[in-house]
Each structure stands twice: as structure tokens, then as C-alpha cells.
Structure 1
Amino acid sequence: MVDINLSEAEKRYIIDGVKLGIRADGRGPLDYRELELETGVLDTANGSARVRLHRTDILVTVKMELEPPLPGRPNHGKLLFFVNCSANAAPEFEGRGGEELASRLSSVLERLYSDANAFNTAGLVVVPGKYVKAFYVDVEVLECGGNLFDVVSLGVKSALYATRTPRITITGEDGGELEFTLSDNPYDVDRLDVTNAPILITHLRISEGITIVDPTIEEEQCAPVSVVVGVAPNATICAVHLLGPGTIGPHTLKKALKGSAVLGAEIHARLIAKLKQEESIPDRRIRGFLG
């Protein structure tokens, strides 16, 4: 993650506060800060979302293309992730500095959505064995100020929820090639089912037996390891990913997983409720759904 310069005294102040149950910004161990979320921010994409959490700012766009299926998967569509850490997001991202983090984020997202229970690609087939819908999900990290994995996961699910594609009709065949017609009715669209799509909950290990969620960039500099937990809406743990060179004990890990399951289900419910609410208001904007 992004490095900042903290003195040993500043780190000790943050760590001791967490051990006493009081974080530097007054939150408890399992408290999230307020997020700002907007969908439909780009007219040029089939779906988009922008999420801001204090100094972390990401933009997610989704575009659909008709393509041949992948070899060996003739009856499945495609969901592809691409992450770019802008050089303006942090000094460490200049040149090739952000490529490792971008690759790690892409891998985690691919793992999250590879399970058919999380996202069913079988529903993306247009002509079995010939044409499927391919959804390209581009994540642009505009600013990196802590808790990046959680913010990206919320942005991806929101952008996929907001995705609309014109309904496709096969109208005939010309010279062996199928002809397609796209509906020009703005209400005649197909949507993606993200009912079971997971999100990420990051637990930063402060000391053995003590973790915190939604860490600030300052808190991230005080601990050697984080556990990133993928949580489905039904509170099922679907992925676990360790970040950093440190270790985490079985008791601490078990406690983090249990806390992630409860917190993840709550965040899912709030997110979907606000996304549905957004559809009924003119400016299509929601803010602070965790506030």
C-alpha cells in the first residue's frame, strides 16, 4: 500500500489507542467511516460507479461487447477485470509502481466472481457456442488513502448493479453470419444479477487478538499484516487473502472471519437498499450509506 512517514511515537499512539478500544478518529474496532457513492456517472459506459472514502477515490466502468466464448466454455459469458492505479493517486504509483497492487486487486476480484454462486456467466449467452456477452470491468484508482480493497469491491458491485445493456434480438442470417438488432428503447434493457455478488472486508491486525476494519492510511502503517475477507450477502465467507509480510494467529483469524460475516451481511443489505432507492430519485445519487 501507499507509504507515509510516521514517527515511532505516532505509531505507538495509534496502536495504544486501538488496544484501549479508541481509534485516533474516535471509531470503534468494527466501525466504518461514511462513504460517498454515485452510479451512472459516465454516459459512455453501460454501467459505472464512483466511490469515495475519505482520501480513497475509485471509478469503476463496465462495458459490454459481443464476442466468441472462451475455449472450453461455449455456454458461458465473460467477466473480465482490469485495474489501473493512477500515477496521481499516490507518489508510489509513478512509473510502474502501481502495477503490483493493480495486479493483486485484479486477481482478488477474479477470484471473488469466479464462483457461479456469486455471478452466473451462463446467463450471458446470446448464441450458444458462437456469441456471448463479455463485460469489461475497469477500475481506476484515482486516489489511495486507505482501505482500498473494500472500496474497490463496493464500487464493482455497484457498477455491475447499475449496468444496463440494450436487448439483443437475432433478426436473420446473411451469408452465414447472424444479424443482430439492438433495441433503441431506453427501457428495453437487460440487467446483471448481482444478488449474490460478494464484497471485501479488510481486518488490519494491530496485535494478536485485536483487529480493526476500515483502516486509515495511518493505521495501515502501524501493522504488518491484513486479512481481506470475501463475504457473500448471506454471510458466507467465500475468500480469504492475506496482505503484508506479517503473520496472523488462528484465534485472531477466526475472530476476524466471524466479525466479517456479520458486518458483511449488514453492509450488503444497506448497499442494495440504497442502490434500489437511488433508482427512484431524479439525480440517481446516493451518499453515506454507512453513515
Structure 2
Amino acid sequence: MAVDYKTAQPKEYYRKFLEKEVRPDGRELAEFRPTVLNIGSVSTAEGSSLIKFGNTTVMCGIKAELANPKTEEPQKGFIVPNVELSPLCSPHFRPGPPGEQAQVMSHFMAEVIKNSKCVQLEDLCIVPGKLVWVLHVDMICLNYDGNVTDACVLALLAAFKNTVLPTVEVNDETQAIETKLDKLQPLRVHSHPASTTFAIFDDNILFVDPTVDEESLATGVLTVVTVDDKLCMVHKPGKVHQVRLHTGHRIY
């Protein structure tokens, strides 16, 4: 009977639970799903991680290559994040070029790196004006069950902390590039951004770590990124209305 009610009137079904400050899966409004983190899961990458939030699973791999810096920024390297949401992780996504959600997520991850300064581009410089590192950060969603945003941020940070780069030198006489794989250096991580995604239901109920069903029924979704307990950025994909929390505070 409950299954039929959930299928026929999913929003009303959820509303009955949320009014009692609990969710159909048994979690409280501020309770996250169980989290599993595996570091160094891809042996061919310079750094990698695998993160699970409930059934949501994201793998992050970092590959490094050498390049010339920009003329206007001779002492800065590059970080290129990419989020992949394929049909293999959910029937919601189509084959072909990256969809809108994947593009928005890739841009969001670039902003997290930039605003949190967790990895500074100056640290990727080998020879100013001549040689820098490019870090390709690929985040692949293996199973999509909501809140891929927080999963990507945690997977990114874990992969950064797992990354080691070989020592690279440029011969002054021949200008040849010498890569010393026996001398590895860990990537310096300056800060630890933390992401928390909230779903908003009926414009007055707020809960964290939404599943894909909860995202589909929510009025909006809001992601808050903090660094050392200080606000770093707020991400609002789509329209999010003003929300009044039970404490009387407001989020816009």
C-alpha cells in the first residue's frame, strides 16, 4: 500500500515523513548517508580516489603532463577538471557530448579549486616562462543516486592529497627535459574545502545529502562550500527560493 502511495503521490508521500523531521530511508534531516573512501584506487594515475555516498559512487583520477605556461602568467601551471555523467551511471543521462549538468559540474569544480586555493597554480611551475605542470582531473560518476556534487568535492580533495609528481629538471646546456621518476614529490594541498548540499522541500524544509528521488521532488538544491569553517562559495543550480530555517536564519 505504501509503495502504491509513493508511486501515485510521491511528493505527498515525502511530505508526510518530512513533517516529522525524518526521511523515508530512516535518516534525520541533517543526517548524511554512510560514506566510504578509497585512496589510490587507480595505479596508472598520479593520484586517485573512489568515494561512495550511499549508492552514489564517484572515481577521481589525476594525470599530469608538461606544457608551456601562458605568456601573461609565466609562473602558473594549469588544472583542468572534468566531470563525466554517462548513461552507465544513470538512465537520466544520454550518450554523446557532455550534457548541461556535467558541464555545470565541471565549471563548479573549477571554481572550488580557484576559490578555495586548495592547490595553487604557482606550485605547478617548474621553470618560469618555460615549463609547468598540467593536471587533468577526471571525475567519473559510476553510480548516480543524488548529491554527486559533494561526492566530487571529496573525491577531488582525496585525489589531490594522494598525488605525487616526478622531479623535472631542464638541462641548462641542451635544454633537454629530464624527468626523474625515482624522485617523487607530493602535491602540496593548502586547504581542505568541504561541500554540503541541501535540498529544499516546499520552500521551508531543508535537509542534507539528498538522494536522486529527493532531488527530483525538491523545490531547489543549494551547495555550500566552506574552508576551515569559513564560507568559500555558494552554488545554486537553477532557482532557489529564500529559505527560513527553524533557527530563524535565512539562506538566499
Q: Give the TM-score, by structure 1 length.
A: 0.77
For 2:165 and 2:12, the matched residues in 1 are separated by: 52
- Give the match's secondary structure for 1:243: coil
Q: Which amino acid aligns with 1:15?
A: R
1:76: Cα distance to partner? Answer: 0.8
CA distance in 2, matches of 1:230, 1:209: 21
Structure 1 184/75 Cα, relative in aligned 2: closer, same or farther at 3 Å?
Answer: closer
Q: 1:9 Cα shift?
A: 2.6
Larger RCO (alpha carbons 8 Å, 6+ apart): 1
SS across alignment from 2:233: strand
| CA spacing shift, 1:124–1:108, aligned 2, 3 Å | same
Q: Which residue of 1 aligns with 2:221?
A: 226
Q: Is it true that 1:190 corresponds to 2:185 in the alignment? A: yes
Distance, in Å, in 1 between the alignment partners of 2:102 and 2:173 is 42
Shift of 1:98: 5.2
Cα offset, 1:171, TM superposition: 3.5
Gaps of 5+ in 1: 1-5, 258-291
More strand per residue: 2
Could you tell me how far apart the structure 2 residues matched to 1:97 and 1:67 are?
26
Matched residues in 1 for 2:79 and 2:19: separation?
A: 42
Tell me, yes or no, if the aligned pair for 1:203 and 1:256 is still in contact at 8 Å. Answer: no
**What runs of 5+ residues in structure 2 fail to find an aligned partner?**
1-5
Alignment TM-score, normalising by the size of structure 2: 0.89
Q: Match for residue 9 of structure 1?
A: 9
Aligned to 1:62: 62
Please tell me whether the aligned partners of residues 86 and 95 of structure 2 are also in contact (alpha carbons under 8 angstroms): no
| 8 Å Cα contact 2:243-2:250 kept in structure 1 | no
The answer to whether structure 1 residue 29 and structure 2 residue 29 are counterparts is yes
Report the RMSD for the aligned CA atoms in angstroms: 2.2
* Further displaced range: 14-23 or 158-167: 14-23
**Cα deviation per residue 1:83-105 (whole Å; 9 max; x = unaligned)?**
22122111121224851111011
Counterpart of 2:195 in structure 1: which amino acid? L
Query: Which sits farther off after the overlay, 156-165 or 85-94?
Result: 85-94
8 A contact 1:224–1:244 mirrored in 2: no
- Larger helix fraction of residues: 1
Cα 1:166–1:198, aligned 2, differ >3 Å: closer, same or farther? same
Once residues 136 and 185 of structure 2 are traced to their aligned partners in structure 1, the CA distance between those partners, rounded to angstroms, is 16
Change (3 A) 1:16 1:116: closer
Aligned residues with identical type, % of pairs: 25
Contact 2:116 2:193 in 1 (8 A): no
